[in-house]
Amino acid sequence: MRLAKKFSAATIALVAMAGIATPASADDSGTAPVLLSDTSIDWVAGGQGWMNLSWTAFEDLSDVKVTVVPQSNGIEISYPENHDGFTGLSVDSDLSSNEIDYTSFYVETTAANSGTKWAKVYVEWTQAGDGHQALMANLKFSNMKYKGDDFLILTDSVSVSSGETDTTVNWVEFGYKGLAPTNSDFSITVEGVAAEVYYPQDSFTSLHHDHVLNAGETDVARIWIDPALVAEGSSEIEVVVNYSNNSGRAQQVSHKVALTVD
């Protein structure tokens, strides 16, 4: 699934005020799908991801569509790309009597806006040829500030060759794995190398994929050490990592790496 257009509280406010049709809040829930999932959700500020709501029905329903409408700033909702402005059931668009199925949608929250966030869940369905729609739930996202290490350092030793003429060799990689929802703006330098270090960004290096390290994501930072200028032996170098943490604050950590030149 790829993401379709995002919906934020500001967008919904504009649309609603213009009198353009939005999911109705009328109580039309006589034969509605039944929401099984909890509506109170613990959520780390700045977190993002696909979440799922489970549904059942007491009668055969068809053309089931679910929309999740943000009611707070700092939260955005997206749907699978194969649906335009809504999400659908995983198996098909029908919900048979006592069947359990789920709908997926993507939630993004900003770290700067901690605190409780709200979103309304609406559902549309068809039963015996008649269309219905209803407000089914108020989702409560209890945004918590992230506490814990920002990322894991995966590299504690590297090796390069002295006298190597192949310039594709001697690229050194330092690996990192994200733990906090989002860390960004990585700027990494190295100290203690007894030779000139080549940085891809001239005076620093960053993550290879992009400048953001999300939770669970693994990426590397690369530097190049000129083999003609480095002598055989072992030493310890210091990698200095500057970045912005999940709350947007500038941070610096450094870690030691054993460098072997053979």
Partner 1 sequence: MSKPSFRVVILGLLFGLLMASTGCGAAADESDSFPFGDEDSIPTTPETLIAAPSLVLDPEAQQSVEVHSGWICELQRRTFNDPADIDQALALHLERIPFDRDRYDRFILELASDQGLRDAVLFNYQETCRRN
Query: For partner 1, which residue of 62, 63, 73, 199 counts as binding (CB under 8 A)?
Result: 73
Question: Does residue 54 bind partner 1 (CB under 8 A)?
Answer: yes
CB of 146 to partner 1, least distance (A): 14
Structure-block tokens of residue 88:
């659908």
Query: For partner 1, which residue of 5, 6, 91, 260 counts as binding (CB under 8 A)?
Result: 91
Rounded distance, CA 229 to CA 19, Å?
70
Nearest to 123 by CA among 154, 89, 97: 89
Query: For partner 1, which residue of 111, 136, 190, 221 counts as binding (CB under 8 A)?
Result: 136
Rounded distance, CA 32 to CA 132, Å?
8
Question: Does residue 71 bind partner 1 (CB under 8 A)?
Answer: yes
Using CA of residue 66, residue 68, residue 69, residue 71, what is the dihedral sign? positive
CB of 53 to partner 1, least distance (A): 7
Binding site for partner 1 (CB under 8 A): 1, 9-10, 13-14, 16-19, 25, 27, 29, 32, 34-38, 47, 49-54, 56, 71-74, 80, 91-92, 94, 96-100, 102, 104, 107, 113, 115-118, 120, 134-138, 142, 214-217
